[in-house]
Amino acid sequence: MKLENKIAVITGGNSGIGLATAKLFHKEGAKVIITGRRKEVVESAAKEIGENAIGMTSDTANLVDIDELYAAIKDRYGRIDILFLNAGIAKFEPMEIVTEERFDELSNTNFKGLFFNVQRAAPLMDEGGSIIITTSAAGQIGSPNMSVYGATKAAARSLARTLSGDLLPKGIRVNGISPGPIDTPIMEKVGIPSEALSAAKAGFAAENPMKRIGSADEIAKAALFLASDDSSYIAGVDLAVDGGLTQL
């Protein structure tokens, strides 16, 4: 029970990495709050997680939603111990066809929303608090068709460092967790045609030093490490959970 009686907020907690992490945190004793943009999906996921889990509808790119989220958490719980900023979107397109609308969509969710979530949540956190930001191997590798997405994830990685400098005096640690290709529903939303999805997964696996893609549960275990006292002397890192993709 590494997170017994902790209050954990997980944005984008209704599917994939977020849901797997919410289940693990709950198993380890945390009271879990998950967020997502679709009310029925969020509430269904909260029931799936179990007792003491609640779902709140919130768009991480919308500052009004962000304010309402943390006001509700303050009223209900009075504090946050763990903040896992996992909500994000991935859209892969050739540089030549990226529109301003697409640029803003990715930037607002993957970068701006991260910053303002931390800004609003930090006053509810005390010494010993942990903030985890989902970055990506795409923020370190110059992959085709990922110019804007990769840049937003590089910005997220930078926030894990700079916000550590801001918050360590309060005893709050900020770290990143950097997944490689992970078998989650997001792989169906990035623009890969459904008929080409199996081939794409096989290609990701072939390029990986471990010759496979990862699972959401593997990311959840790394998030548990960063959320718990097991990582009490770690701050500002970007923990690569990518089968060695960015390391070898």
Q: Domain limits of the chain? A: 7-239
Superfamily of domain 7-239: NAD(P)-binding Rossmann-like Domain (3.40.50.720)
Residue recorded with tokens 């997964």: 201
Report percent pLDDT > 90 for the chain: 89
pLDDT in tens, 164-203: 999 999 999 999 999 999 998 766 666 566 677 788 889 9
DSSP state of 244: T
**What pLDDT is attached to residue 184?**
83
pLDDT in tens, 195-238: 777 888 899 899 999 999 999 999 999 999 999 999 999 999 99
Task: Determine the 3-state secondary structure of 8 from DSSP.
Answer: strand
pLDDT in tens, 143-166: 899 999 999 999 999 999 999 999
Question: What rounded mean pLDDT belongs to the chain?
Answer: 95
Please state the separation of Cα 190 from the chain's center in Å. 16
How far apart, in Å, are the Cα atoms of 117 and each of 94, 174, 246? 30, 13, 28
pLDDT in tens, 68-91: 999 999 999 999 999 999 999 999
Contact assessment for residue 38 and residue 46, using Cβ atoms and an 8 Å cutoff: no
Q: Which of 70, 77, 149, 233 is catalytic?
A: 149
**What pLDDT is attached to residue 199?**
86
**What pLDDT is attached to residue 193?**
66
Specify whether 233 is catalytic.
no
